[in-house]
Amino acid sequence: MSSSDVARQGQDKNARPLSLSGHVGFDSLPDQLVNKSTNQGFCFNILCIGETGIGKSTLMDTLFNTNFENFESSHFEPKVKLRAQTYDLQESNVRLKLTIVNTVGFGDQMNKQESYQHVVDYIDTQFESYLQEELKIKRSLHNYHDSRIHACLYFIAPSGHSLKSLDLVTMKKLDSKVNIIPVIAKADTISKSELHKFKIKIMSELVSNGVQIYQFPVDDETVSKINTAMNGHLPFAVVGSTEEVKIGNKMVKARQYPWGVVQVENENHCDFVKLREMLICVNMEDLREQTHTRHYELYRRCKLEEMGFKDTNPESKPVSLQETYEAKRQEFLGELQRREEEMRQMFVQRVKEKEMELKEAERDLQGKFEQLKRLHQDEKSKLDDKRRTLEDEINTFNKKKAAAELLQGQSFNTNTNAKKDKDRKNSGFM
């Protein structure tokens, strides 16, 4: 007996039986929900992962029977880019906001080690945006554009041998974040016998490497039979085409070759109809629900645990969000106070170290000053000695000069007197 049956029995025991005297009307509640959902519209986001030119855009056009805006991509992208395009579709009175996210340049780089990381980051970014909206005080989830990826169509090249290591690594990194549905692209390029063996080989490799792909739910009795059968057809071998070819008296979507015509919607030719039925007609709501209840909840739980929020304390007793918040607040305040104390002690320590450095520099400067002062005194003494010596030399020179001038004056007087006497003698003789 399942847990839901036990809960239902418990509810039945507490239910109050009433005998209705007439029609009340709460049996219209499902109709009310349907009308409300129809008025609000739905959103569905598909991530297409595959090599350039493998047919991702063509398959999307074929799935939704329209021509989306497509961009040609080259094989020379330096890194993987994700391009998201949103379209408003309407079928009968149901509106669908469809977002198709295409991986541009996936697997085209020489170093493919980081090819999957951009895809993982994109999916986590959408989860984080939804989580931030949930954590707001004033939330607007009723009109919030949910960009979380609901289904990942992983396109496998029809090699007929085995999965590439990049495919295995990428799907292993994504299986806990998104609902992976593997598809073999361009299935008309491989024979039926090879295709059957290729499918078995792919599923065997996925199981041996622990890759969890999306399994169509079998717990609902209304779709249990068809989903069980479709789980046995995974991965779907698909062919996409928007061209119409006349077969008999009607036009069908097909790919025409010189050797014949491959009809897209002919289940004997490919699994396109199976993929469309399982993805859109039968399990679209389950894909949306699995994204929210499984993948997003796992991301949300890990993110809140990283932030320190838990449901139970070390004694396994339940803890309310308020208690957890208060405990984290006290822990944060204690951590803040501890860091302030550490910063204060570090500041004091650095001030002391700076004071010691300044004192040491002051002692060095004082020593240099004393040394320069001694050098100055020595130089001054030498200059004083030289000045005194020079003054002595000047005095001696002046004395010698005065003596020389005196001698010169005496000699001049003597010569003058001698000349006068000679002149007198000469005049007397005359």
6 has pLDDT over 50? no
Q: Give the lowest-confidence range in 4-13, 34-43, 53-62, 219-228.
A: 4-13
Binned at pLDDT 50, 70 and 90, residue 155 comes out as: very high
pTM: 0.70
15 has pLDDT over 70? no
357 has pLDDT over 80? yes
pLDDT for res 154? 93
Q: Distance between CA 12 and CA 360 in Å, rounded? A: 88
237 has pLDDT over 80? yes
- Residues 255-267 pLDDT 10s: 888 888 888 888 8
CB-CB neighbours of 366 under 10 Å: 10
Q: Distance between CA 99 and CA 149 in Å, rounded? A: 9
Helix (H, G, I), strand (E, B) or coil at 270: coil
Binned at pLDDT 50, 70 and 90, residue 27 comes out as: confident
* CB-based burial label for 319 (10 Å; 0-12, 13-18, 19+): middle
Binned at pLDDT 50, 70 and 90, residue 205 comes out as: very high
- Residues 393-419 pLDDT 10s: 999 999 888 888 888 888 877 877 777
pLDDT for res 73? 65
Binned at pLDDT 50, 70 and 90, residue 294 comes out as: very high
Binned at pLDDT 50, 70 and 90, residue 19 comes out as: low
pLDDT for res 3? 45
pLDDT for res 7? 46
pLDDT for res 250? 82
Mean pLDDT, residues 321-332: 78
Q: Give the lowest-confidence range in 27-31, 279-283, 337-341.
A: 27-31
CB-CB neighbours of 187 under 10 Å: 25
75 has pLDDT over 80? no
8 A C-beta contact, residue 255 and residue 239 = yes
292 has pLDDT over 90? yes
Long-range contacts of 125-134 (CB under 8 A, 24+ apart): 127/177, 127/295, 127/296, 127/299, 127/300, 128/299, 128/303, 130/296, 131/299, 131/300, 131/303, 134/300
Binned at pLDDT 50, 70 and 90, residue 141 comes out as: confident
Helix (H, G, I), strand (E, B) or coil at 202: helix
Mean pLDDT, residues 164-173: 89
Mean pLDDT, residues 19-25: 68
Beta strand pairing status for 94-104 and 250-257? unpaired
Residues written for the chain: 430
Q: Give the lowest-confidence range in 247-261, 347-361, 369-383.
A: 247-261
Higher pLDDT, 25 or 356: 356
